[in-house]
Structure 1
């Protein structure tokens, strides 16, 4: 699954410890993305302009670009969130825990919580279809994977004795991405989340477990 926000994902911006101005900015950002996602789901990504999003969200086009540098980021707005979650899991892990163990734990927690970055929900399939149908969205999603990999490699190098932090980051992201894409593909083919979910969790659990056995310093 790509790092993205569905319109009814059910989570509000994290307002704890934020100033009023920061909360308002987070709420505006989420509102714009939510309006854009609704339009993209209804009519397709390539059929909607940024100007139309701005009009529907009752903001200026400039305001939209202030929050989202590219049109693709309106839909794939969870990329920064994914980077923050994954790097924080590594940076803030217990002293005895390896980076891979921290990421393994995070992925399972996200699945248990029903979090859109790892869990499966039937309502997500329409979102995934929009991404599949748009070459520019697929390209942006690949860039997001690279951004996540780069950030993870940096934090692994900073916080562990891992001799190959880039390799560890690449393998961890590949395991996460492959597991999510495999499960999303089954759902796009018509299976329900309830049918896919046990295999989804087992696949990611097995993938990270294997990496932890092969790369014990990671």
Structure 2
């Protein structure tokens, strides 16, 4: 990723990664509200101003890695293969992510990933931000469907149902991981449940789910 970059650019990436790592460590150890930006700066051996040069707020230190993928779902639908329906594209991408143990679908059992899940669930400000993340994903998917010729009201219904199914599957993965199961142990069940969930989605959407 850093090949071909100049020294200044590489240092910026390294500093950003160090800030994210130290912030995550402090948040998971002590809780989001109990950690100050000054403490994060000290742990990363930078100034407080440097933190704000990289991140606009303390919440960004939790959500920036997630928000780099905020357009993934809409991009999968936009770039799907000819003849593939939006639902089929989302099913394919989800199953691939499970296979790759992608944290974006709740399939990472790393200490950091589990700590962030707990942190978000236990912190009202972060739950609000997580909801905003969902709304932006919903809006982007709706826009793609409208661009393809769907009327806005139907596009919103389809986006709500497809993302609702996807989020329910992720929530179940999170539940099992937080209960102490490993990602490898739940993978087969996650694939089976995703199959059932997307089958139900396709039945509910009827002919729409078959449209390419």
TM-score (norm 2): 0.82
CA distance in 1, matches of 2:200, 2:161: 11
In 2, Cα distance between the equivalents of 1:92 and 1:22?
30
Question: Are 1:204 and 2:207 matched, yes or no?
Answer: no
> Runs of 5+ in structure 1 lacking a partner?
1-13
Aligned mates of 1:213, 1:161 — CA distance in 2: 22
1:87 aligns with 2:78: no
2:66–2:104 Cα contact (<8 Å) kept = no
Residue matched to 1:156: 145
1:112 Cα offset (Å): 0.9
User: Does residue 175 in structure 1 map to residue 162 in structure 2?
Assistant: no
Deviation at 1:153, TM superposition (A): 1.0
Q: Does the residue aligned with 2:33 lie in a helix, a strand or coil?
A: coil
Moved more, 48-57 or 207-216: 207-216
Alignment partner, residue 133 of structure 2: 144
- Whether the aligned pair in 2 keeps the contact of 1:111 and 1:201 (CA below 8 Å) is yes
Conserved in 2, the CA contact under 8 Å of 1:162 and 1:217?
Answer: no
- C-alpha separation in 2, matches of 1:61 and 1:68: 11
Q: Is 1:188 the equivalent of 2:178?
A: yes
SS in 2 for 1:78: helix
Q: Please, which runs of 5 or more residues in structure 2 have no aligned partner? A: none
Shift of 1:145: 0.9
Q: Distance in 2 between matches of 1:122 and 1:67?
A: 27
Q: Does 1:74 align with 2:74?
A: no
Structure 2 Cα separation of the partners of residues 102 and 30 of structure 1: 32
Provide the rounded CA distance (Å) in 1 between the counterparts of 2:45 and 2:143.
39
Partner of residue 50, structure 2: 63
- What is the alpha-carbon distance in structure 2 between the residues aligned to residue 138 and residue 58 of structure 1? 29
Give the structure with the higher percent helix. 2
Partner of 2:35: 48
Residue aligning to 1:8: none
TM-score, scaled to structure 1: 0.80
Judge conservation of contact 1:112–1:119 (CA < 8 Å) in 2. Answer: no
Flag the structure with larger Rg.
Answer: 2
Within a 5 Å distance, the mapping from 1:1-40 to structure 2 comes to: 20=6, 25-40=12-27
- RMSD (Å), alpha carbons: 2.5
